[in-house]
Amino acid sequence: AQKITQTQPGMFVQEKEAVTLDCTYDTSDPSYGLFWYKQPSSGEMIFLIYQGSYDQQNATEGRYSLNFQKARKSANLVISASQLGDSAMYFCAMREYGGATNKLIFGTGTLLAVQP
């Protein structure tokens, strides 16, 4: 079973608008972390934001916020005031802390295109 699901292969958004990228996850480990990465066409994976399973508040980093709904096992990324430079592939990832490994489990990604 897929542990991280990103159901939107591609999305368009107008410049200056907000956009939500969906991510659902599946784990039985009570302790886990959720990450979002941005990958422009240049290839580098850029860390955007982190949410821990015990964090009481939704994480925010500048224009990025994470809409964390633990009961629904969702961790959607919200980008406010989109910019042309936000056009990239976005990956949601999870790390489970119960095991003895430090593996990141990635979703399949969402390709975001910001239109002027």
Partner 1 sequence: DTEVTQTPKHLVMGMTNKKSLKCEQHMGHRAMYWYKQKAKKPPELMFVYSYEKLSINESVPSRFSPECPNSSLLNLHLHALQPEDSALYLCASSQERWGSTDTQYFGPGTRLTVL
CA distances to 19, 28, 51, 100, 102 from 25, rounded to whole Å, are: 20, 10, 13, 20, 17
Minimum CB distance to partner 1, residue 61 (Å): 12
**Residue nearer to partner 1 on the CB measure, 16 or 31:** 31
Please tell me the distance from the alpha carbon of residue 61 to that of residue 102, in angstroms, as a whole number.
24
**Residue nearer to partner 1 on the CB measure, 14 or 60:** 60
Binding mask 84-103 for partner 1 (x = CB under 8 A): -----x-x---x-x---xxx
DSSP codes of every residue in 90-106: EEEEEEESSSS--PPEE
Residue 67, token pair as written in the block: 């809409």
**Residue nearer to partner 1 on the CB measure, 15 or 44:** 44
- Give the number of C-alpha atoms closer than 13 A to the C-alpha of residue 108, restricted to the C-beta side: 7
Site membership for partner 1, residue 43 (CB under 8 A): yes
The residue from 8, 50, 58, 74 that contacts partner 1 (CB under 8 A) is 50
The binding site for partner 1 (CB under 8 A) comprises 31, 33, 35, 37, 42-47, 50, 52, 89, 91, 95, 97, 101-104, 106-109
